[in-house]
Structure 1
Amino acid sequence: MSTTEFNSTKNNTGTRVADFIAFVNDRKTEQVLKSFVLDQVMPHTHVAVGGVDDAIAYLAKIERSPQFLLIDLQNSVMPLSDLGRLAEVCEPSVQVVALGERNDVGLFRSLLKIGVRDYLVKPLTVELLKRTVNVAEGKVSPVMLARAGKTIAFAGTRGGVGTTTVALNIARHLAEDTHRRVAYVDLNLYGGAANSMLGIQSNNGLSDVLQNVHRLDPQYVERTLIAKGARLFVLSAELDYGNLSPFQGGALARVLELLCDSFHYVILDVGSLTDPLAGDAFDYASRVYLVADPSVHSTRETIRILRFIEDRDNNPPTSLLLNNPNAASTGKVQAADFTAAVGRAALYEIPFEAKAVTVAENLGEAPNEKAPNGFNQTIMRIARDLTGQPAAAERTFFQKLRFRRR
């Protein structure tokens, strides 16, 4: 391993400490970095030819982590896993810039989600580094993301598994208890259950925006939303049966883009998987929750629907929720058998609630249920899984990674 150092300082044990550390896989990139640190007059740097393992070995020996860390992922087979190992030997405050040879949007988005400040594609240049690492201000220039909010899709394996009950109560919890702005989009154009569960009437706003996609702007979309409190808003339709709702392909994408500019979470109640809107929902979802019940048919459909979701280009992370919408205690598929058949475990199993949920749905209210491991507590746990970490803008790279690895 070749190493280039520039006036590095030493701590009391004689181990060198640097403000800027870089490990790259080729000599050409090393020379570009050498020119960069000279151009920026950075006195305490460490530039080496090596990979993630070399970086881990070096960082484990020094007393303090650097301000900036540039790591080359060109030869990394599992970059996210490698960055997780790297997180164990670094302080949370490190500002990380990843480097690679693939112009891979999926990898770029994944790295940004876990807190990497930027992802640069080779060949590296001094000018590119100067635009990325602001030495004078001591920070990596922020990458501007097009959408601030997250689109979360909820789908059921069959009718009656409680998809809307689960999705709506999670949306209500996010809005009322975590103070997020939430847009709930019921994709059943002929009237889903969400409006009656909230005690509101549909204004056919979803049909309106889908048919007028070329006229949409934030104000237009805001006017179609029905408010349920200060932070929960609903976009739905209730067309007469037999009426067709013509809209252009891709119309939902524009609606979601505008909603994500104004809301922390956009919850999609997918409805029928045969509807073209369902495919669009999965294509633009940042996460999917698939709700199943402990029946043979639901178990079989879970396998098929997972394949349908995972075969799409977006391939969003998908979690299973095993709901118990009725009191049946015999003849149901056991959780262990469900896991064995599907090939993965449910993220949470939602217990049957005999009275509170049904009463709340009929009254358009939140369930008044307080059992320690009951319905509301499980909804709260799912919401915590969804939000995961504090508001992300200021959360550092290694804080994010450590939270994800728990």
Structure 2
Amino acid sequence: MSKFMNVLMGGVPIGRLEQMDTGVLAIEYADGWLAADRVQIPLSMSLPLAAKKHSGAKVANYLWNLLPDSDQTLQKWGQIYGVSPNSAFALLSKVGEDCAGAIQIVTDEWMAANADSPGEVQWIDEAEVANRLKRLREERTWTGRRDGDRGHFSLAGAQPKMALLFDGKRWGVPSGRRATTHILKPPMPHLRGTTENEYACLRLANHLGITAAEAKVGKFGEEVAIVVTRYDREIDKDGVVRRFHQEDMCQALGVHPAVKYQSEGGPSIEQITNDVLRYATDPEADKAAFADMIAFSFLVLGTDAHAKNFSVIHLPGRRMFLAPLYDVLSLVPYDNDEHERRRLRMAMKIGGYYKFSEVLPRHWRRQGELMKMDPDEMIARLVALGEKIPDALSDVVKEARVEGLKEPVLDTVLDGISARGKAIVQQYSA
């Protein structure tokens, strides 16, 4: 017998998710959603509104992309919630209340219990935030929620993280229809200063004119975390948190998260531009912005710029835009061995090459051709970003000092990116 759940977008039911007795997954859009001409937002580009019902791998892949990218974490969550870790449907029946974008995937029982309620918030003090971060840092497969918490969430990615609501003064665990507003990630255990590193990269991107997620280094007692303001949330004038729909490029292309890297069969830069961004509201602007994001990852020695780390935002009226940059980490401070540095690979090819050390100007031109851009524009964008790095870094340093950041890795990151930027500008301007 089939099992069903409800799919909400911005709190509005848009369809029913079905798990057939064969295990096959399907999504059927509600008639009212298909008729809502002013809205016209699909669950995913890979699950278009042109068809009332979709089933099979693309539905399953969309759901898996809402969950953590760690088999260990999924196994642990399966144990905690008493469901199969091999079933995205079963896992989301427990944690689908607050997902990326405007989506909530919830049971009929949840719908009945929350029919007339705007949701609740369990407020916690900073000491409790610190306790949760400490546990997440030490027990990296933890859910981020304690026994007794009513609200649950799911976030994709390989690194442990938790989502909370911040109202400007207090942190809280929302439940029901209430949404989280911030993502908190503890440092990685095997690399020093990753919190300050990600902060510096996102701030630098913004100062270079690349739209990036707003982030700061949060200090909670003895714990630190990168605190990222969710760009898929907005607090309205009445203090109500609104959800915006978004999906990552794996979801948009119907790809399972296990193959998010191009070398494993995942999307390429040109697939993202030609099969996703070509349908954006302003495709040329978004293509150029995406090219800048790729160039930025190259400049800062970012090895994790795969398809799941780029997204699009869907808005009513069939409008779609490239989402802000997020999840950027520079390997500059951790790579002191020249031999090892020459082996570092990008997540997606530039003109047919993965290794940073092997990419030359002609490969950027080739990449421009593959993206249906002026080949010389790719070079020009890379050089322009590199030339702006010194001034942008100066702004980042000032901000970091104002915020009291003293982690030594921060200086190493900034100095290393500065040197790499100068070298690339010299090489590509010759």
TM bucket by the smaller chain?
under 0.3
Larger radius of gyration: 1
Using CA pairs below 8 Å that are at least 6 residues apart, which structure has the higher relative contact order? Answer: 1
Q: With structure 2 as the length reference, what TM-score do the two structures score?
A: 0.25
Q: TM-score under structure 1 normalisation?
A: 0.27
